[in-house]
Amino acid sequence: MQRRKFVKTSLLSGTAAFTTLAGTNLAYSAISSPFGEGNSGKYDYKLNYAPHFGMFENHAGKDPLDQLKFMADMGFTALEDNGMMHRTPQMQEKIGDQLEKLNMDMGVFVLDKGGNSANSLTAGKPEYKEIFLNGCKNAVATAKRTNAKWITVVPGNFERELPIGVQTANVIDALRAGVEILEPHGLVMVLEPLSDTPDLFLRHTDQTYMICKAVNSPSCKILYDIYHMQKNEGNIIRHIDWTWDEIAYFQIGDNPGRNEPTTGEINFQNVFQHIYKKGYRGIFGMEHGNSLPGKAGEKALMEAYAKVDNFDV
Protein backbone atom coordinates (compact mmCIF):
# COMPACT_ATOMS: atom_id res chain seq x y z
CA MET A 1 0.00 0.00 0.00
CA GLN A 2 1.22 3.50 -0.78
CA ARG A 3 1.46 5.69 2.27
CA ARG A 4 1.81 9.43 2.44
CA LYS A 5 4.47 10.78 4.70
CA PHE A 6 2.98 12.82 7.47
CA VAL A 7 6.13 14.67 8.51
CA LYS A 8 5.50 18.38 8.33
CA THR A 9 7.92 20.33 6.19
CA SER A 10 7.25 23.69 7.76
CA LEU A 11 7.27 24.27 11.51
CA LEU A 12 7.07 27.47 13.52
CA SER A 13 8.63 27.96 16.93
CA GLY A 14 6.37 29.35 19.63
CA THR A 15 4.20 31.59 17.43
CA ALA A 16 0.89 31.20 15.67
CA ALA A 17 0.80 31.51 11.91
CA PHE A 18 -2.36 32.24 9.99
CA THR A 19 -3.29 31.81 6.37
CA THR A 20 -6.48 33.16 4.86
CA LEU A 21 -9.35 31.00 3.77
CA ALA A 22 -10.17 33.29 0.85
CA GLY A 23 -11.32 31.40 -2.17
CA THR A 24 -12.24 28.17 -0.41
CA ASN A 25 -15.47 26.53 -1.53
CA LEU A 26 -17.01 25.07 1.62
CA ALA A 27 -20.48 23.73 2.33
CA TYR A 28 -20.53 25.34 5.75
CA SER A 29 -20.87 29.07 6.37
CA ALA A 30 -17.96 31.45 6.82
CA ILE A 31 -16.17 31.07 10.12
CA SER A 32 -13.92 33.18 12.25
CA SER A 33 -10.61 32.04 13.65
CA PRO A 34 -10.65 30.87 17.26
CA PHE A 35 -7.31 32.62 17.77
CA GLY A 36 -8.54 36.19 17.90
CA GLU A 37 -11.04 38.59 16.39
CA GLY A 38 -10.33 39.56 12.82
CA ASN A 39 -8.25 36.46 12.04
CA SER A 40 -9.72 33.99 9.61
CA GLY A 41 -7.57 30.98 9.04
CA LYS A 42 -5.71 28.04 10.41
CA TYR A 43 -3.08 27.48 13.05
CA ASP A 44 0.19 25.90 11.93
CA TYR A 45 0.53 23.22 14.58
CA LYS A 46 3.91 21.66 15.26
CA LEU A 47 2.31 18.28 15.96
CA ASN A 48 0.02 16.11 13.87
CA TYR A 49 -3.25 16.28 15.84
CA ALA A 50 -6.20 14.15 14.69
CA PRO A 51 -9.76 15.21 15.60
CA HIS A 52 -12.68 12.81 15.31
CA PHE A 53 -16.04 13.19 13.61
CA GLY A 54 -18.50 15.22 15.67
CA MET A 55 -15.83 17.32 17.35
CA PHE A 56 -16.59 20.36 15.11
CA GLU A 57 -20.13 19.56 14.10
CA ASN A 58 -21.49 22.94 15.23
CA HIS A 59 -19.19 24.75 12.79
CA ALA A 60 -19.10 22.26 9.93
CA GLY A 61 -22.45 20.49 10.05
CA LYS A 62 -23.19 16.78 10.23
CA ASP A 63 -21.72 15.69 6.89
CA PRO A 64 -18.44 13.86 7.58
CA LEU A 65 -16.83 15.19 4.40
CA ASP A 66 -17.65 18.78 5.34
CA GLN A 67 -16.24 18.13 8.81
CA LEU A 68 -13.00 16.96 7.21
CA LYS A 69 -12.84 20.20 5.21
CA PHE A 70 -13.28 22.21 8.36
CA MET A 71 -10.56 20.26 10.18
CA ALA A 72 -8.12 20.85 7.34
CA ASP A 73 -8.95 24.54 7.11
CA MET A 74 -8.36 24.92 10.83
CA GLY A 75 -4.88 23.41 10.51
CA PHE A 76 -5.47 19.80 11.52
CA THR A 77 -3.58 17.29 9.42
CA ALA A 78 -5.14 13.94 10.38
CA LEU A 79 -8.39 12.21 11.29
CA GLU A 80 -9.14 9.58 13.90
CA ASP A 81 -12.28 7.43 13.61
CA ASN A 82 -12.62 4.53 16.05
CA GLY A 83 -15.79 3.31 14.37
CA MET A 84 -14.50 3.28 10.78
CA MET A 85 -15.05 -0.50 10.39
CA HIS A 86 -18.78 0.02 11.05
CA ARG A 87 -19.13 2.45 8.13
CA THR A 88 -20.17 1.20 4.71
CA PRO A 89 -17.40 0.42 2.22
CA GLN A 90 -18.74 3.26 0.08
CA MET A 91 -18.42 5.78 2.91
CA GLN A 92 -14.97 4.48 3.79
CA GLU A 93 -13.87 5.13 0.22
CA LYS A 94 -15.36 8.64 0.26
CA ILE A 95 -13.53 9.42 3.49
CA GLY A 96 -10.30 8.02 2.07
CA ASP A 97 -10.65 10.10 -1.10
CA GLN A 98 -11.39 13.23 0.91
CA LEU A 99 -8.38 12.68 3.16
CA GLU A 100 -6.19 12.28 0.08
CA LYS A 101 -7.61 15.43 -1.48
CA LEU A 102 -6.99 17.44 1.70
CA ASN A 103 -3.52 15.92 2.23
CA MET A 104 -4.62 14.57 5.61
CA ASP A 105 -3.55 11.31 7.26
CA MET A 106 -5.80 8.61 8.63
CA GLY A 107 -5.19 7.74 12.26
CA VAL A 108 -6.36 4.67 14.14
CA PHE A 109 -9.61 2.81 13.81
CA VAL A 110 -10.65 0.09 16.25
CA LEU A 111 -10.49 -3.55 15.18
CA ASP A 112 -14.06 -4.79 15.08
CA LYS A 113 -14.61 -7.77 17.42
CA GLY A 114 -10.87 -8.01 17.81
CA GLY A 115 -10.58 -9.06 21.42
CA ASN A 116 -13.07 -7.64 23.89
CA SER A 117 -15.11 -8.72 26.90
CA ALA A 118 -17.15 -11.08 24.73
CA ASN A 119 -14.20 -12.84 23.11
CA SER A 120 -11.18 -12.09 25.25
CA LEU A 121 -7.86 -13.30 23.84
CA THR A 122 -6.68 -14.10 27.38
CA ALA A 123 -8.92 -17.18 27.56
CA GLY A 124 -7.00 -19.08 24.89
CA LYS A 125 -10.19 -20.33 23.23
CA PRO A 126 -9.77 -21.20 19.52
CA GLU A 127 -13.13 -19.69 18.61
CA TYR A 128 -12.14 -16.34 20.17
CA LYS A 129 -8.84 -16.36 18.35
CA GLU A 130 -10.65 -17.05 15.09
CA ILE A 131 -12.95 -14.05 15.63
CA PHE A 132 -9.87 -11.89 16.19
CA LEU A 133 -8.12 -13.14 13.05
CA ASN A 134 -11.22 -12.59 10.93
CA GLY A 135 -11.28 -9.05 12.29
CA CYS A 136 -7.68 -8.59 11.15
CA LYS A 137 -8.60 -9.77 7.65
CA ASN A 138 -11.53 -7.35 7.46
CA ALA A 139 -9.32 -4.54 8.77
CA VAL A 140 -7.00 -4.94 5.78
CA ALA A 141 -9.84 -4.05 3.40
CA THR A 142 -10.90 -1.06 5.54
CA ALA A 143 -7.32 0.20 5.69
CA LYS A 144 -6.95 0.05 1.91
CA ARG A 145 -10.09 2.11 1.40
CA THR A 146 -9.03 4.80 3.87
CA ASN A 147 -5.24 4.76 3.42
CA ALA A 148 -4.92 3.80 7.09
CA LYS A 149 -1.98 2.20 8.82
CA TRP A 150 -2.84 1.83 12.52
CA ILE A 151 -5.51 -0.43 14.02
CA THR A 152 -6.37 -0.32 17.73
CA VAL A 153 -6.45 -3.71 19.45
CA VAL A 154 -7.64 -4.37 23.01
CA PRO A 155 -7.03 -8.01 24.08
CA GLY A 156 -10.10 -8.13 26.32
CA ASN A 157 -10.81 -8.93 29.95
CA PHE A 158 -8.73 -10.51 32.68
CA GLU A 159 -9.52 -14.22 32.98
CA ARG A 160 -9.69 -14.89 36.73
CA GLU A 161 -9.55 -18.66 36.41
CA LEU A 162 -6.16 -18.59 34.65
CA PRO A 163 -2.72 -17.56 35.97
CA ILE A 164 -1.47 -14.23 34.61
CA GLY A 165 1.40 -15.94 32.79
CA VAL A 166 -0.95 -18.27 30.92
CA GLN A 167 -3.22 -15.36 29.99
CA THR A 168 -0.24 -13.39 28.71
CA ALA A 169 0.95 -16.35 26.64
CA ASN A 170 -2.53 -16.73 25.13
CA VAL A 171 -2.56 -13.06 24.14
CA ILE A 172 0.93 -13.25 22.61
CA ASP A 173 -0.03 -16.34 20.64
CA ALA A 174 -3.12 -14.64 19.17
CA LEU A 175 -1.25 -11.43 18.36
CA ARG A 176 1.52 -13.32 16.59
CA ALA A 177 -1.10 -14.89 14.34
CA GLY A 178 -2.64 -11.46 13.78
CA VAL A 179 0.57 -9.80 12.64
CA GLU A 180 1.02 -12.53 10.03
CA ILE A 181 -2.11 -11.09 8.41
CA LEU A 182 -1.29 -7.41 8.87
CA GLU A 183 2.46 -7.22 8.35
CA PRO A 184 2.47 -8.00 4.59
CA HIS A 185 0.19 -4.99 4.08
CA GLY A 186 2.31 -2.61 6.16
CA LEU A 187 -0.40 -2.36 8.82
CA VAL A 188 0.29 -1.96 12.53
CA MET A 189 -1.91 -3.12 15.39
CA VAL A 190 -1.42 -0.75 18.30
CA LEU A 191 -2.21 -2.28 21.69
CA GLU A 192 -3.99 0.09 24.02
CA PRO A 193 -3.83 -0.28 27.80
CA LEU A 194 -7.02 1.21 29.25
CA SER A 195 -8.40 2.54 32.53
CA ASP A 196 -12.12 2.04 31.87
CA THR A 197 -12.51 -0.92 34.22
CA PRO A 198 -10.22 -3.08 36.39
CA ASP A 199 -11.64 -6.11 34.57
CA LEU A 200 -9.47 -5.29 31.55
CA PHE A 201 -6.38 -7.43 31.02
CA LEU A 202 -4.17 -4.71 29.49
CA ARG A 203 -3.83 -1.77 31.85
CA HIS A 204 -0.19 -0.63 32.04
CA THR A 205 2.57 0.54 29.75
CA ASP A 206 5.25 -1.88 30.95
CA GLN A 207 2.88 -4.83 30.52
CA THR A 208 2.13 -3.74 26.94
CA TYR A 209 5.83 -3.21 26.29
CA MET A 210 6.62 -6.77 27.37
CA ILE A 211 3.93 -8.19 25.08
CA CYS A 212 5.16 -6.18 22.09
CA LYS A 213 8.70 -7.43 22.70
CA ALA A 214 7.42 -11.00 22.82
CA VAL A 215 5.39 -10.67 19.61
CA ASN A 216 8.51 -9.16 18.05
CA SER A 217 6.95 -7.61 14.95
CA PRO A 218 6.87 -4.12 13.42
CA SER A 219 3.12 -4.71 13.18
CA CYS A 220 2.57 -4.91 16.95
CA LYS A 221 3.26 -1.70 18.88
CA ILE A 222 1.93 0.45 21.73
CA LEU A 223 -0.84 3.01 21.57
CA TYR A 224 0.03 5.32 24.46
CA ASP A 225 -3.15 7.06 25.58
CA ILE A 226 -2.07 9.89 27.87
CA TYR A 227 -5.49 10.11 29.56
CA HIS A 228 -5.69 6.42 30.45
CA MET A 229 -2.08 6.19 31.58
CA GLN A 230 -2.36 9.26 33.78
CA LYS A 231 -5.21 7.48 35.56
CA ASN A 232 -3.54 4.07 35.80
CA GLU A 233 0.09 4.87 36.50
CA GLY A 234 0.97 8.58 36.20
CA ASN A 235 4.64 9.50 35.72
CA ILE A 236 3.88 10.02 32.04
CA ILE A 237 7.22 11.20 30.69
CA ARG A 238 9.24 8.48 32.40
CA HIS A 239 6.91 5.73 31.21
CA ILE A 240 7.14 7.11 27.67
CA ASP A 241 10.94 7.05 27.91
CA TRP A 242 11.04 3.50 29.33
CA THR A 243 8.88 2.10 26.51
CA TRP A 244 9.78 4.51 23.72
CA ASP A 245 11.02 2.02 21.16
CA GLU A 246 7.66 0.23 21.08
CA ILE A 247 5.36 3.28 20.99
CA ALA A 248 3.87 3.95 17.55
CA TYR A 249 0.90 6.20 18.33
CA PHE A 250 -0.37 8.65 20.96
CA GLN A 251 -3.84 9.67 22.06
CA ILE A 252 -4.84 12.71 24.08
CA GLY A 253 -7.32 13.53 26.81
CA ASP A 254 -6.91 15.55 29.99
CA ASN A 255 -7.71 14.12 33.41
CA PRO A 256 -10.12 14.42 35.14
CA GLY A 257 -12.93 14.82 32.65
CA ARG A 258 -11.36 13.42 29.46
CA ASN A 259 -11.66 16.70 27.62
CA GLU A 260 -9.22 18.91 25.72
CA PRO A 261 -5.81 19.87 27.14
CA THR A 262 -5.77 22.66 29.78
CA THR A 263 -9.01 21.42 31.36
CA GLY A 264 -7.35 19.03 33.82
CA GLU A 265 -4.12 18.30 35.65
CA ILE A 266 -1.77 17.20 32.85
CA ASN A 267 0.93 19.61 31.65
CA PHE A 268 0.47 18.84 27.97
CA GLN A 269 2.83 21.57 26.81
CA ASN A 270 5.73 19.86 28.61
CA VAL A 271 4.65 16.38 27.52
CA PHE A 272 4.30 17.43 23.88
CA GLN A 273 7.64 19.21 23.91
CA HIS A 274 9.32 16.12 25.34
CA ILE A 275 7.78 13.81 22.72
CA TYR A 276 8.64 16.24 19.91
CA LYS A 277 12.27 16.53 21.02
CA LYS A 278 12.54 12.74 21.08
CA GLY A 279 11.77 12.82 17.37
CA TYR A 280 8.16 11.64 17.15
CA ARG A 281 6.33 13.12 14.14
CA GLY A 282 3.38 10.75 14.10
CA ILE A 283 -0.28 11.25 14.92
CA PHE A 284 -1.81 12.40 18.21
CA GLY A 285 -5.41 11.21 18.29
CA MET A 286 -7.76 13.68 19.98
CA GLU A 287 -9.79 10.99 21.74
CA HIS A 288 -11.69 13.21 24.13
CA GLY A 289 -14.78 15.36 24.45
CA ASN A 290 -15.30 19.11 24.32
CA SER A 291 -15.49 20.71 27.75
CA LEU A 292 -18.01 23.32 26.56
CA PRO A 293 -21.02 22.96 24.23
CA GLY A 294 -21.67 24.53 20.86
CA LYS A 295 -19.43 26.68 18.70
CA ALA A 296 -17.94 28.29 21.80
CA GLY A 297 -16.76 24.90 22.98
CA GLU A 298 -15.22 24.10 19.62
CA LYS A 299 -13.36 27.40 19.57
CA ALA A 300 -12.17 26.86 23.14
CA LEU A 301 -10.85 23.44 22.12
CA MET A 302 -8.81 24.89 19.26
CA GLU A 303 -7.50 27.68 21.46
CA ALA A 304 -6.38 25.05 23.99
CA TYR A 305 -4.44 23.16 21.33
CA ALA A 306 -2.81 26.36 20.10
CA LYS A 307 -1.71 27.03 23.68
CA VAL A 308 -0.20 23.63 24.44
CA ASP A 309 1.39 23.41 20.97
CA ASN A 310 3.27 26.62 21.68
CA PHE A 311 6.51 25.09 23.01
CA ASP A 312 10.17 25.68 22.21
CA VAL A 313 11.82 23.30 19.74
The Cα 152–Cα 255 span in angstroms is 21
Q: Which domains does the chain possess?
A: 48-308 (3.20.20.150)
Rg (CA), the chain: 19
Q: Is the pLDDT score of 39 beyond 80?
A: no
- Once rounded to an integer, what is the mean pLDDT over residues 198-215? 97
The answer on pLDDT for 18 being more than 70 is no
At a CB cut-off of 8 Å and minimum separation 6, what does 235 contact?
none
Asked if residue 303 has pLDDT above 90, the reply is: yes
Q: In 3D, which of 67, 95, 91, 89 has the Cα closest to residue 141?
A: 89
pLDDT digits over 130-171, tens only? 999 999 999 999 999 999 999 999 999 999 999 999 999 999
d(CA 146, CA 204): 30
Which pLDDT belongs to residue 35? 55
State the average pLDDT over residues 76-84: 98
Determine the average pLDDT of the residues in 299-312.
97
Chain segment 216-275, per-residue pLDDT in tens: 999 999 999 999 999 999 999 999 999 999 999 999 999 999 999 999 999 999 999 999
Helices (H) and strands (E) in the chain, counts: 10, 9
Task: Tell whether the model's pLDDT for residue 114 goes beyond 90.
Answer: no
Pairwise CA distance, residues 297 & 313, whole Å: 29
Q: What is the average per-residue pLDDT within 94-102? A: 98
Q: Which of 5-14, 181-190, 206-215 has the lowest mean pLDDT?
A: 5-14
Residues 26-49, mean pLDDT to the nearest whole number: 63
Mean model confidence pLDDT for the chain? 89
Q: Where are the beta strands (DSSP E) in 37-104?
A: 48-50, 78-79
Record the pTM: 0.88
Please tell me the predicted confidence (pLDDT) of residue 115.
64
- pLDDT for residue 119: 82
Q: Residue 113: its pLDDT value, please? A: 74
Q: Are 1 and 144 in contact (CB under 8 A)?
A: yes
pLDDT value, residue 27: 38
Tell me which residue of 249, 243, 259 sits closest to 219, measured CA to CA: 249
